Structure 1
């Protein structure tokens, strides 16, 4: 810090630094975020206390500290109050406060720099590539700086099917897996200790998996699939246990009465349906919407209630992360929850953010119509994700364990799970839900709607 101001300030603030270290040790922040709590106190103090000749440079330091401290005021617990000096206490008291604030601003500016430069890397294992709904969630989060605000950098790895995700989580090669719940529930063995993993965030609170046929098909119910073929992306997909159970629930035996056929993802699967190599597709709702956008109207077959209510994808973490780094889970889930709200508030921005980061997804012609169609897909997806059947807002990330227990019993009944006695409360946790939802929803919606 060169120049007259630097020299003058250095002589005034040196005695304050020792006290700052003590202050920082006393104000431990409960969120576990990696920034000095004393800095948060300074950033929240009324700028009217800065009335000395150094007020302008001090304000500059405060702005620098604000830009480098990775903290959301809406996520932080209120700091312990520091009394403001009254006018009657005179210029001498104000000068001491000014020197203290200068020291605090300078110290924050340097002490938080390493944290801002070293964000936590979160690796997410996926079974299928991102499309406009889930990919748009991460894209709009990037545009709004939601993960950056939580000091997180997100990386995605697409693995060969849901069956490959659980081993990666168990070996701690990824921070979170994003598989269907059947991947974990079917792996539980009777009489053995639960696997050291758990779902920490419910990203699919209703069943978005669908079995769809072409509208001109004579197939109208699941029972009508006898003698037909159902296309899936790969035989490693986590959807297959549910598909087999659905078929058995209407009296069909997979492999004998109905064939489950690997047809590839997205366009490859769509082509297989159009060529009648399979008569139905077992894809997620977004992919069936995309099939229709490509000019193939589809009819979705009705699922029994216990299957229709079941949750789908969620974020799966190792117990060592749950117990050893709960702050990371909370910060990640809060940013993800905020991003879903942003996409719901401005689906156009969500689609365009995804297109900017995925050039191949942007159509080369007819972009206005494609944009309108993709906006409808995003609206439909987030309406189901964020609201229940009555239209009421869901508590984001929360699991209804009774729904899962009902599903476990049904899957055991149709021979997909080896036991109905699965410790659901061990494999699904709501411990972080309060933290996931600790953000200013109205302010976020306003920010999202302000995006072009």
Structure 2
């Protein structure tokens, strides 16, 4: 072996065992159902920033793709390895009698309550869903999950969503805010974090009361193709374990999670110049979503699917004529990885969160 060749080999070996092990790590494309990753999705950037993915031998790219429907389609097409998506959209595509069934399944439950609400401006005379007869309902797009939930909410108020109201696509962010301010619509069906952002921009909205079963529908969770579930269980367990650790970290130290998210995604930071007021705004968004990350019925196991809740989801989709035949819960999700995902020192993660130096991520 020549000296030059020996040096080459040594360099390559050194690179392969670099601090993060990045060259040896398995690349994972994780699709996130928003246009911009923010505090409501803190566990994903927290897991990356703190090296939880790297500890599992993974090099994760977090890719914001705009919506749950897009996530499901792109994962099914092989344009991503894992993705978070609202199950209402994905389960519709899982039907065996669909023209092109989505060969997907959820493997980690990330949302134990429905994040969608139907709201009206705070000063609106509308008090109940029944009062929306003849009104215009704003949604991001007519094919969005908001429309699916919106029709269910309208029907729960004794109205016909195809006759008694009109659904109007108003986009998201500033475009949606303008539509509300200019009274283009009388009510909106948006997710929790979006409603908080409206409030922070000076547009106060008031949610209308929903049926308890609708409020308890499971929501955004993590899925993959069935062939990936079959062939790459280690990768999926590692990814979900990293997210689970980050969830525990976020629950134990919400300010740190918010600041880490802003560190990684500066565009998500509020425009408020005062650091304390900005943090309070970020915490309001984060803590609203945190309320649905766990459920006492799981017995402390992060990510565990609760069959009754998912049966309720299937019944909801069937009742709303979003599916034409029942989808078995075994087709929707698997709990096979949950025990392995939860095998880590949770106390150590919580301790890390409590001892985290906020100054290290303050801008």
Structure 2: distance between partners of 1:398 and 1:373: 30
- Structure richer in helix, relative to its length: 1
| Deviation at residue 394 of structure 1 after TM alignment | 4.6
**Could you tell me which residue of structure 2 aligns to residue 386 of structure 1?**
294
Contact 2:47 2:243 in 1 (8 A): yes
| Deviation at residue 110 of structure 1 after TM alignment | 7.2
**Could you tell me which residue of structure 2 aligns to residue 423 of structure 1?**
328
**Could you tell me which residue of structure 2 aligns to residue 32 of structure 1?**
none
Distance 1:327 1:448, change over 3 A: same
| Deviation at residue 416 of structure 1 after TM alignment | 2.3
**Could you tell me which residue of structure 2 aligns to residue 208 of structure 1?**
115
| Deviation at residue 191 of structure 1 after TM alignment | 5.3
Equivalent in 57, 63, 77 of residue 157 of structure 1: 63
Equivalent in 145, 164, 188 of residue 51 of structure 2: 145
Structure 2: distance between partners of 1:260 and 1:239: 10
Q: Give the TM-score taking structure 2 as reference length.
A: 0.86
Q: Which runs of 5+ in 2 are unaligned?
A: 1-12, 359-363
> Size of the alignment, in residue pairs?
342
Q: Which has the larger radius of gyration?
A: 1
| Deviation at residue 336 of structure 1 after TM alignment | 0.3
Q: Which runs of 5+ in 1 are unaligned?
A: 1-108
| Deviation at residue 112 of structure 1 after TM alignment | 7.3
Alignment of 1:16-35 (within 5 A): none
Structure 2: distance between partners of 1:235 and 1:431: 35
**Could you tell me which residue of structure 1 aligns to residue 165 of structure 2?**
258
- 1:306 and 2:213 equivalent? yes
| Deviation at residue 158 of structure 1 after TM alignment | 3.4
Equivalent in 267, 276, 283 of residue 368 of structure 1: 276
Secondary structure at 1:299 match in 2: strand
Secondary structure at 1:371 match in 2: helix
**Could you tell me which residue of structure 1 aligns to residue 179 of structure 2?**
272
Which structure has more relative contact order (CA 8 Å, sep 6+)? It is 2
| Deviation at residue 194 of structure 1 after TM alignment | 6.7
Contact 1:386 1:396 in 2 (8 A): yes
Contact 1:194 1:423 in 2 (8 A): no
| Deviation at residue 338 of structure 1 after TM alignment | 0.7
**Could you tell me which residue of structure 1 aligns to residue 245 of structure 2?**
338
- 1:446 and 2:346 equivalent? no
- 1:113 and 2:17 equivalent? yes
Distance 1:218 1:143, change over 3 A: same
1:273-303 CA-to-partner distances (Å, cap 9, x unmatched) read 1221112221111111121122222211122
1:106-165 CA-to-partner distances (Å, cap 9, x unmatched) read xxx979738652211211223322443344222322332111111212223333543333
Structure 2: distance between partners of 1:120 and 1:134: 26
1:412-433 CA-to-partner distances (Å, cap 9, x unmatched) read 22322212x2122122111111
Contact 1:269 1:281 in 2 (8 A): no
Deviates more, 1:125-134 or 1:326-335: 125-134
**Could you tell me which residue of structure 2 aligns to residue 229 of structure 1?**
136
Secondary structure at 1:212 match in 2: strand
Distance 1:150 1:138, change over 3 A: same
Secondary structure at 2:63 match in 1: strand
Contact 2:26 2:58 in 1 (8 A): yes
Contact 2:118 2:208 in 1 (8 A): yes
| Deviation at residue 330 of structure 1 after TM alignment | 0.3
Secondary structure at 2:348 match in 1: helix
| Deviation at residue 409 of structure 1 after TM alignment | 1.9
How large is the Cα RMSD of the aligned pairs?
2.5
Secondary structure at 2:29 match in 1: strand
Alignment of 1:49-198 (within 5 A): 113=17, 117-159=23-65, 161-189=67-95, 195-198=102-105
1:278-337 CA-to-partner distances (Å, cap 9, x unmatched) read 122211111111211222222111221221111111111111111101000000000001
